[in-house]
Amino acid sequence: MWVQPLAMLGKDGDAIGAYKEALELCRATLAQGALRYNDLMAKTLYRYAIILRELDRVSEAAEVGEGAISVFHNIARTGEESTTWLCYTLHNHGYTCHLLGRHAESVLAFQESISLRRALAATDPTQEKYLGAALHHIANALHALNKHAEAIAAATEALERNYGRVLEGCHSPSDFISCFVCQRAMRSDSTTPQ
């Protein structure tokens, strides 16, 4: 059920339609009692939220992301493993909320994601980069809420985990002026002796 390539091909309307159809199929299947399709529903919502955000339909993306989080939480309550996907979903929802200026909600999503990522990273080193990215983004959300001490702590840890470098794929403009963490990295680079 990979609908994302349609959006990559510039067929945004087709991608939106395909996701809506996929979600209707998931809902119909769930209504018939096939709970094993919860995972498919949650992953479809997650991907749909990303497409909506990329199409600048950010408010809709936040709503769909909330739905994905809810389904992943339900899956976790059944004892099924969904932690990694829940982390992805929380991370994307946190970023979407940050774009909407809903910084407190962004912080909550990133806090849950970071807590889960720390546990995952303890046994899986590939999770480190995702943990660093979540710390990077929560620092910006905390900074927007004027929670400076917490923002500095998150930014410091993000930079330490990324060896003092700016985050590859930071969504800020190329000059990094709007990114609290990247500004800190740039300042430390300029004071480091060569």
Q: pLDDT tens-digit profile of 59-85?
A: 999 999 999 999 999 888 887 788 999
Are 91 and 109 in contact by the 8 Å Cβ rule? The answer is yes
What's the average model confidence in pLDDT over 30-40? Answer: 69
pLDDT band at 1 (very low <50, low <70, confident <90, very high): very low
Are 110 and 138 in contact by the 8 Å Cβ rule? The answer is yes
Mean pLDDT over each residue of the chain, to the nearest integer: 82
User: What length is written for the chain?
Assistant: 194
Distance, CA of 145 to CA of 103 (rounded, Å): 7
Distance, CA of 58 to CA of 96 (rounded, Å): 7
1-80 CATH fold: 1.25.40
- Identical fold at 1-80 and 82-189? yes
**pTM of structure:** 0.82
For the chain, domain boundaries: 1-80, 82-189
pLDDT band at 40 (very low <50, low <70, confident <90, very high): confident
Domain 82-189 has CATH 1.10.3720.10: no
Amino acid present at 101: G
Distance, CA of 65 to CA of 97 (rounded, Å): 10
> What is residue 194's predicted lDDT score, i.e. its pLDDT?
32
Phi then psi dihedrals of residue 178, to 5 deg: -90, 5
Q: How many CA atoms lie within 13 A of 115 on its CB side?
A: 7
pLDDT band at 190 (very low <50, low <70, confident <90, very high): very low
Check whether 7 has a pLDDT greater than 50.
no
> What is residue 142's predicted lDDT score, i.e. its pLDDT?
96
One-character DSSP codes across 36-84: GGHHHHHHHHHHHHHHHHHTT-HHHHHHHHHHHHHHHHHHHHTT---HH
> What is residue 150's predicted lDDT score, i.e. its pLDDT?
96
Render pLDDT for 84-115 as a digit per residue (tens, 0 to 9): 999 999 999 999 999 999 999 999 999 999 99
Check whether 172 has a pLDDT greater than 50.
yes
Q: What is the DSSP letter of 127?
A: G
